[in-house]
Structure 1
Amino acid sequence: MNYFSHILINNVIPLSIMIALGALLYRLFKLDIRTLSKLNFYLFSPAVMLKMLYESTISFAILGQVLLFFAVYFTSLFVMTEGVIRVRGLKNGMRTAMRNSIIFYNSANYAIPLNQLVFVGDAFTLSVQIVIMMMQSLIPNTYGIYSVNSEQKDRRLVWRTILTMPVIYVIPVAFLLRGFHVPIPAAIYTPIGYIANAFSATALLTLGVQIGSMKWKLRFSDVLLSNTMRLLVGPLLGFGIVLAFGFHGPLAQALVLSCAVPTSLSSVLLAVEFDNEPEFASQAVFSSTIFSIVTVTFVIYGMRLFVH
């Protein structure tokens, strides 16, 4: 019950308030969601990625284990999702929107505070989550953009769009700066910190603006399918992979917990930026965030019992 109330008070309610404010601002001022989307892709997301990777203390040995886990987990989840999409008979843009709502999960402004709550501010488990966040930022900015534009005949335009995404350059730069202990001048690092701190608020407001502009034709069965795959199948798959690899201790627990979080705001940003089922994407993010109060609590209890 303690985890339930803590997740509700410290994660879901604050997120919901920010989303509600975004919806209210849209109703009052008709905010331009395209502008908000571009701010997230080209400014806030790269800044938070640079700051977190630059400040991370994870070793290369642990980095390799986390990347191995993520590669197997992501591939397995992708294959399972493709099977569900085919059985469901989804077509065109809806296939991509459903896939993105399952394989892209909220590894930043939900998973990081959750990680620090469960592991009581442990620096090691935070570093594990930051690596997961790195991959969950890189893939939507590469494969995610490619997938939502896959219907375009001119693939050169798609690749040109991908190559304009700052995140794909920020990640290697951050590792190089950290690896060679290169100090970033305060005059540069201070504004990076300001921008990074605004990431969560802007992303949540963007989701709220999208929800405020929707006609609210609820896609109940599709949203339920997405939530089931993300919140139930996702963490169960994570459990299985951790046990198969023989991981244990805080590393194993942090990896399992990273799989339990709701659908990422990246799926909404991609849907809005490239006009690919934005209403479904918004409903999937919002509902999975609410339902995660219950599912994440059960994952935490299960993690404590079966992952040592």
Structure 2
Amino acid sequence: MGLLRALLDVILPVVLVAGVGALLARRFPLDRTTVTKIALNALTPALALQTILTTEVSGRVGLLLALGFVLLTLIAAGLGWLSAVGQPSLTRRSAAVAVSIGNNGNMGLPISLFALGQAGLDQSVLIFILSVVLTFVVAPLLYGAHQGWRGALIGMARLPALWAMAVGLVIRTLGISLPTGVTRGIDLLAAATLPMILLTLGIQLGSTGRVRLTGPVVISSLLRVAVLPALALPLGYAVGLRGISLQAFVLSAAMPTAVNAFILAHEYDGDVEFVAHTVTVTTLLSFASAAVVTALLPWIGSLG
């Protein structure tokens, strides 16, 4: 897929829908918290459940994706920490969080669907769930939250998507057939997920004030959207990912800093301003990085 085609077929639909959300945020006083809660607690669990019930991703591939993603997250946190040498401790911790926590939901899922189809989306849903779990582990540990592992475990236990995946695994293992009405209800919620999370992304961007480009913000942003995809390719290959799994893994690394990083900076008294600016800058840059990676996907898929 050429760069121009990647921009038109993959990135443009994302920009258009997110742009509608941004315009709505500029025009109306929208409650971002409510919209985010709907996406996180109702729609995403339905998509996760549907994916588990219908996916053909093998257990082995799932484990390799998990291994690669954990390793890449740890490397990203280390790079973020090193990138802010000489800055206050909270800024260094915030840089580690901002570089390591990617937006594999709002950005990652739609782009994966447009670039790789349903098979790629199945892989990306698993990556998204992994990213959510690691978010509630990495950020509290980096910020030195007083709750430590206990708080991280409690945070994970509260994630509806994890419970939806657990239910899906039980249903699939036992060979249970759901009533047609239930299946259709799940499908409707799952189908609403991608448009809603793109609108949510646009609302968040539209509500953002003026961006301040400092040295640490620029460095962290480039690490997130430019360096990580370059590292993800050899890392994913080394752990055994091939074909569409490797493509989805590398594509996920080109995603911007997650808005959750900003929320957690508030929660744990991090450098909120730094993280907010990094979220905005990486989101804008990621349209270009995702287009470049998308153009390289045929070559990435041929490796092996």
Normalising by structure 1, what TM-score?
0.77
The answer for the alignment partner of 2:102 in structure 1 is 105
* 33-42 or 229-238, which deviates more: 33-42
CA contact (8 A) 1:216 1:279 kept: no
The answer for the alignment partner of 1:292 in structure 2 is 286
Q: Which amino acid letter does the alignment assign opposite residue 100 of structure 2?
A: I
CA contact (8 A) 1:210 1:282 kept: no
Distance between the aligned counterparts of 1:186 and 1:243, measured in 2?
A: 40
Tell me, which stretches of 5 or more residues in structure 1 are unaligned? Answer: none
**CA-CA distance at 1:234 after TM superposition:** 0.6
CA contact (8 A) 2:36 2:200 kept: yes
Distance between the aligned counterparts of 1:205 and 1:280, measured in 2?
A: 24
Distance between the aligned counterparts of 2:232 and 2:67, measured in 1?
A: 12
Residues 285 and 202 of structure 1: CA distance in aligned 2, closer, same or farther (over 3 Å)? farther
The answer for the alignment partner of 1:179 in structure 2 is 173
Distance between the aligned counterparts of 1:19 and 1:275, measured in 2?
A: 29
Q: Does 1:242 align with 2:236?
A: yes
1:128 alignment partner, one of 110, 123, 127: 123
The answer for the alignment partner of 2:303 in structure 1 is 307
Q: Does 1:202 align with 2:183?
A: no
Tell me, which stretches of 5 or more residues in structure 2 are unaligned? Answer: none
**CA-CA distance at 1:114 after TM superposition:** 4.1
Distance between the aligned counterparts of 1:143 and 1:175, measured in 2?
A: 23
Distance between the aligned counterparts of 1:200 and 1:192, measured in 2?
A: 14
**CA-CA distance at 1:117 after TM superposition:** 5.1
**CA-CA distance at 1:43 after TM superposition:** 1.9
Distance between the aligned counterparts of 1:185 and 1:69, measured in 2?
A: 37
Matches for 1:40-119 after TM superposition, within 5 Å:
40-85=39-84, 87=85, 89-92=87-90, 94-95=91-92, 97-108=94-105, 110-115=107-112, 118-119=115-116
Q: Percent identity?
A: 23
The answer for the alignment partner of 2:132 in structure 1 is 137
The answer for the alignment partner of 1:3 in structure 2 is 2
Residues 215 and 152 of structure 1: CA distance in aligned 2, closer, same or farther (over 3 Å)? farther
Distance between the aligned counterparts of 1:303 and 1:287, measured in 2?
A: 28
**CA-CA distance at 1:32 after TM superposition:** 1.9
CA contact (8 A) 2:3 2:292 kept: no
CA contact (8 A) 1:149 1:158 kept: no
**CA-CA distance at 1:235 after TM superposition:** 1.3
* 64-73 or 18-27, which deviates more: 18-27
The answer for the alignment partner of 1:261 in structure 2 is 255
Residues 41 and 269 of structure 1: CA distance in aligned 2, closer, same or farther (over 3 Å)? farther
**CA-CA distance at 1:61 after TM superposition:** 2.3
Distance between the aligned counterparts of 1:78 and 1:165, measured in 2?
A: 23
Distance between the aligned counterparts of 1:160 and 1:90, measured in 2?
A: 29
Residues 12 and 285 of structure 1: CA distance in aligned 2, closer, same or farther (over 3 Å)? farther
Residues 5 and 97 of structure 1: CA distance in aligned 2, closer, same or farther (over 3 Å)? farther
CA contact (8 A) 2:93 2:143 kept: no
Q: Please report the RMSD computed on the Cα atoms of aligned residues, expressed in angstroms.
A: 3.6
CA deviation map 1:33-92 (0-9, x unaligned): 22223223322222222222222111222222222222322222223223324x152443
* 25-34 or 289-298, which deviates more: 289-298
CA contact (8 A) 1:107 1:132 kept: yes
Q: Which amino acid letter does the alignment assign opposite residue 40 of structure 1?
A: A
Q: Does 1:218 align with 2:212?
A: yes
Distance between the aligned counterparts of 2:127 and 2:110, measured in 1?
A: 14
CA deviation map 1:183-224 (0-9, x unaligned): 233333333333333333333333333333333142443432
Distance between the aligned counterparts of 2:282 and 2:269, measured in 1?
A: 21
Distance between the aligned counterparts of 2:70 and 2:145, measured in 1?
A: 26
CA contact (8 A) 2:101 2:258 kept: yes
